[in-house]
Amino acid sequence: MPILETRDLTHVFPDGTVAIEDIDLKVNEGEFLVIAGPNGSGKTVLARHLNGLLKPTRGQVFLNGEPISKNIIEARKNVGLVFQDPESQIVGQTVAEDVAFGPENLNLPVAQVEMVVKESLAAVGLSQLATRSPHALSGGEKRKLAIAGILAMKPKIIIFDEPFTGLDYPGVVQVLKEILRLHKTGHTILLITHELEKVLAHADRLVIMHKGRLVADGKPESVIYRVEEYGVRMPLRDGEKVEALTWLK
Amino acid sequence: MAEMTLFHYIHKNTVLHRMDGRLKLACLLLFSLAAGFASEFHDYLVPLSVLFCAILLAKLPFTTLLREMRFFGLIILIVIVVNSFTIPGDPIANSPLAGISQQGVSTGLRFAGRLLIVLLVSMVITGTTPLMKFRDAVEWYLRPVPFVPEARVATMINLTFLLIPVILDSFREMMDAQNSRCVQLRKNPVKRIKFLVFPLIDQTLRRADEIAYAMEARCYSEIRTRTAFKCGKIDWLMLAISLAVFFFVLL
Ligand SMILES: Nc1ncnc2c1ncn2[C@@H]1O[C@H](COP(=O)(O)OP(=O)(O)O)[C@@H](O)[C@H]1O
Ligand SMILES: [Mg+2]
C-alpha cells in the first residue's frame, strides 16, 4: 500500500483558476520523489493538499490508505511541509523558540518540548545558534531552521517546496546534504524543483507537472528526455548520465 | 530599524535579563504610576536614580543609548520651553528672558521628568526582556480574565512584532525601487501615496496569508504547552524596590 496517495485531486480557486486537475499520484514509503514543472504548473498547490492545508474541489488524499480529511492533525504531523520562502515559516524570536512552535502546538510537556528542540537543532547542525534571532541567519541556515521546525513534529514524509531557491552554492550543498541524510534515516522525500541538475541523481522517481496536470511519471533516466516538452530545462548534455545530476561531489 | 539599539532587546546574562517576566511587568506598571504621581523634586530624583542603577546593573550600552535618545531629548526640551512661555504666573526675578513664568518652568520640568522616567523604564524593560518572555507574562496575567483567549492574544503579539520589521523592510525596498524609477518627479502626493500604500498592503496581506498557512502546517493550536515560570529571591527583591519607589513617590 502506498504511504501517500491522491485520487482525482482537483483544485479550482474561487476566481476560476484550475490550479491542479485529476492528479493521481502514489508515493511509496521511503521513496525519493522529485516533482518538476514550470512556474504556475500547480506544484505548490499540490503540496498544500498533501497535508490538508487546502481542501480539494474534487478527489481525495490518502495517508496510509485513510483519507486525510478524517484526521487532519495526524496528516500534518506525518506530512511535514517545508515552505518555499523560509521567512514566512519563521514564527519565533529565537531559533530554539521557532523550533518549539510545533511541539508546543501539540501540547507536549515542557521537558519533552525542550528535548525535541535539542534533537531537531542537533540534527540540522544548528545547536550553536539556538539563542540567535532567526533573521540573523544565512539563507542556508534559515532553510535548515525551517527543516528543524518540521523535524520537531517527527514527520514520516517531508515535502520540500523549491528548497534551493535563493541559495548560493554552499547553501545548496548544505541543504542538499540535509535532505539526503533525512532520506537515509528513513523519511519519504518529495522534492519540488525545476533545478534538476542539482538533485536528480539522488531521486528514485521523477514526476512532471504541466498546466495543473501530471504529465509524466517514472524512473528519472526515462522521464528526463521528455522534460523539455513541458517547459523544464533539460539538464543533460550529450552523452551525460542522470548520475551526473548532483551538486554534491 | 535594525541598526538601532534603543528599545531593542540586548542579550546579556544579568540579574535583570534573567528576571521573571511577570514581576518585571509589575515593576513597569509601578514605575509608570510613580511617574504619574510624582510632584516634588525628590519624587523624580529617586525613581530616576534607581533606573540609572538598573541600566548599569543590566550592562546596557549607556553611551550608545544616550546618543540614540537625542531625539527624545529634543522633545523634552521643547516641552520645557513651551511650558515656560505659555503658562501664566509670576515672572522670574533677574531673568534675562522676558515672558517666562516660575509656574511655567516648574510645570515644564515636571513634564520632562515624567517623560524621562517613562523613557528610561521602557528602555530598561525592552533592553532586558526578550519578546517571548514579555508575551508569556502578558498571557499569564490574562489567564484568569474570562472571555479573553490568552493564547490567541499571545500569538497576536508575536505575529505583530514579527510582521513590523518585515513591513518596514518591504516599505524601504519599495521606496528605493520607486525612487530609482524617478517617482520624485511626480508632483501629486496622493498618487505617490497610492503607489506606496496599495502595494504595501497587498504584499503584507499575502505575507500574512503565507505565515498563516505555515503555522497551520505546524498544527497551530490554542491548547498548547504552557511556559514554566521561574522566579527567585532576587526577582522579588526587584519588585520590593519598585514598590518602595512607588510608595515613596505616592506619600
Ligand atoms: N490563491 C490563489 N488564487 C487564485 N489562483 C491561485 C492561487 N494560488 C495559486 N493560484 C494559481 O494556481 C496555479 C498554480 O500555482 P502554484 O501551485 O503556486 O504553481 P507552482 O508550480 O509555481 O508552485 C497558478 O496558475 C496560480 O496562479
Ligand atoms: Mg510554487
* B145, A107 contact by CB (below 8 A): no
Q: Which residues of A touch B207 (CB under 8 A)?
A: 88
Among the listed ranges A30-34, A107-111, B174-178, which one has the minimum average pLDDT value? B174-178
Confidence of residue B3 (pLDDT cuts 50, 70, 90): low
- Please state whether beta strands A4-12 and A58-63 pair in parallel, antiparallel, or not at all (unpaired): antiparallel
Do residues B38 and B112 lie in contact, with contact meaning Cβ atoms separated by under 8 Å?
A: no
pLDDT for A138-152, tens place per residue? 989 999 999 999 999
Distance CA A98, CA B99 (A): 59
A147 vs B172: CA distance, rounded Å: 29
Which chain A residues have a beta carbon less than 8 Å from that of B162?
Answer: 90-91, 93
Q: What does the pLDDT average to over B209-227?
A: 88
User: Cβ distance A154 to A77 under 8 Å?
Assistant: yes
Q: Which residue does chain A place closest to B207, by CA atoms?
A: A88
Q: What is the CATH number of domain A4-245?
A: 3.40.50.300
Ligand lying closest to the C-alpha of residue A17: 1
Round to whole Å and give the CA distance between A134 and A130. Answer: 9
CA-based max dimension of chain B: 73
B224, A104: Cβ pair inside 8 Å? yes
- Residue A94 near residue A66, CB atoms below 8 Å: no
Domain ranges (residues) in chain A? 4-245
| Closest ligand to residue A35's CA | 1
Whole-angstrom CA distances from B248 to A129, B31, B43, B45 are 44, 11, 7, 11
What is the percent of chain A with per-residue pLDDT over 70, rounded to a whole number?
A: 100
Write out pLDDT tens, residues A154-200.
999 999 999 999 899 999 999 999 999 999 999 999 999 989 999 99
A83 Cα: distance to centroid of ligand 1 (angstroms): 14
Contacts of B166 (CB under 8 A, 6+ apart): A87, B207
Which amino acid residue places its CA nearest to atom 27 of ligand 1? A40
pLDDT one-digit tens code per residue, B82-114: 888 888 877 777 776 777 788 888 888 888 889
> What ipTM was reported for this prediction?
0.84
Q: Is the CB of A44 under 6 A from ligand 1?
A: yes
Q: Residue with the nearest Cα to atom 23 of ligand 1?
A: A44
Q: Is the pLDDT of residue B2 over 70?
A: no
Closest ligand 1 atom, CA of A18? 12
The answer to whether the Cβ–Cβ distance between B215 and A81 falls below 8 Å is no
- Structure confidence at residue B104 (pLDDT): 84
Cβ-defined contact of B215 to A92 (cutoff 8 Å) = no
pLDDT digits (tens, 9 = 90+) for B162-210: 777 778 878 888 888 888 888 878 888 888 888 888 888 888 888 888 8
User: Chain A to chain B, count of Cβ pairs less than 8 Å apart?
Assistant: 77
Inspect the interface and report whether the beta carbons of A48 and B213 lie closer than 8 Å.
yes
Residue B213: its chain A contacts at CB < 8 A?
Answer: 48, 53, 83, 88
Q: List chain B domain ranges.
A: 15-250
Please indicate whether residue A69, judged by its CB atom, sits closer than 6 Å to ligand 1: no
Q: What is the reported pTM?
A: 0.81
Q: Which residue of B has its CA nearest to A151?
A: B218
pLDDT 10s digits, B8-52 = 788 888 999 999 999 999 999 999 999 988 888 888 999 999 999
Look up residue A43 and give its three cell numbers. 506544484
3-state secondary structure string across A115-178: HHHHHHHHHHCCHHHCCCCHHHCCHHHHHHHHHHHHHCCCCCEEEEECCCCCCCHHHHHHHHHH
| A73, A83, A108: residue with CB nearest B214 | A83
pLDDT score for B1? 41
The 3-state DSSP class for residue A7 equals strand
Q: Which ligand is nearest to the CA of A213?
A: 1
Tell me if B216 and A93 make a contact (CB, 8 A cut-off). Answer: no
Pairing relationship of beta strands A213-218 and A79-82 according to DSSP bridges: unpaired
Q: B5 pLDDT band (50/70/90 cuts)?
A: low
Distance of alpha carbon B169 from alpha carbon B184, whole angstroms: 20
